[in-house]
């Protein structure tokens, strides 16, 4: 059996778990509600506060989907109970971020400003302290959605290896390269 797939998922207090007849899993908690369609070959069982997933055979597609859906459901349970937070910093002279509702206005060294519209499931905040890099904070119950938005934000200006300027995750180490060697 898959090591990940056979591990049971414990439901914390305040989290409701329901399985509809069409293999639609719904998880409700204090941070929101998430839904995920599960492959018909994978069986979900709720026993008390424990969710287990089983597969019909050891065929490769069944093994792959067993671990996949277990991980997706575990991420949903963690998301609706605790939530996910991603913080990114803007490293560079003149780089700014301003959050207005669900819009993020960025100044990343281009000739024009960039406006990024964030989905309503994500809470957005931007902070600027004097002498420090601007920080963008994303908070949501949906791990896939928050990761996708963070990746899109980082792709606007990836950290470059010579000066390290760009959008990076807080705590991320950027591999630096040596610049051009000086002449004789």
Q: CATH number for the domain including 134?
A: 3.90.930.12
In a domain, 3, yes or no: no
In a domain, 175, yes or no: no
Give yes or no: residues 62 and 88 share one domain: no
* Predicted pLDDT at 2: 60
In a domain, 181, yes or no: no
- CA 123 centroid distance within chain: 13
Q: Which of 81, 102, 134 is the last residue before a domain boundary? A: 81
Containing domain of residue 121, as a range? 84-169
Q: How confident is the model at residue 179 (pLDDT cuts 50, 70, 90)?
A: confident
175 vs 173: CA distance, rounded Å:
6
Check: CB of residue 103 under 8 Å from CB of residue 97. Answer: no
CA distances from 81 to 30, 31, 61, 141 (A): 6, 6, 30, 8
Q: Is the pLDDT of residue 167 over 90?
A: yes
Give yes or no: residues 165 and 93 share one domain: yes
89 vs 84: CA distance, rounded Å:
17
Q: What tokens appear for 50 in the block?
A: 């424990």
Give yes or no: residues 92 and 23 share one domain: no
Total tally of structural domains belonging to the chain: 2
Nearest Cα to Cα of residue 75 among 142, 147, 2: 142
Q: Which of 57, 81, 105 is the last residue before a domain boundary? A: 81
23-69 pLDDT, tens digit per residue, is: 899 999 999 999 999 999 999 999 989 999 999 998 998 988 999 99
């Amino acid at each position: 059996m898959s090591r990940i797939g056979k591990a049971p998922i414990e439901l914390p207090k305040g989290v409701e778990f329901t399985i509809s007849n069409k293999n639609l899993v719904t998880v409700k908690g204090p941070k929101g509600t998430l839904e995920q369609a599960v492959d018909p070959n994978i069986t979900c069982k709720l026993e008390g506060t424990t969710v287990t997933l089983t597969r019909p055979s050891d065929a490769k597609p069944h093994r792959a989907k067993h671990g996949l859906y277990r991980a997706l459901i575990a991420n949903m349970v963690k998301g609706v109970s605790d939530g996910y937070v991603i913080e990114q910093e803007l490293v560079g002279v003149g780089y700014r971020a301003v959050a207005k509702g669900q819009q993020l206005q960025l100044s990343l060294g281009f000739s024009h400003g960039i406006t990024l519209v964030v989905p309503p499931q994500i809470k957005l905040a931007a902070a600027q302290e004097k002498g420090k890099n601007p920080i963008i904070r994303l908070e949501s119950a949906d791990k896939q959605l928050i990761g996708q938005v963070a990746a899109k934000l980082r792709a606007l200006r990836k950290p470059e290896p010579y000066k390290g300027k760009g959008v990076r995750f807080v705590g991320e180490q950027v591999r630096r390269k040596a610049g051009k060697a000086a002449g004789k």
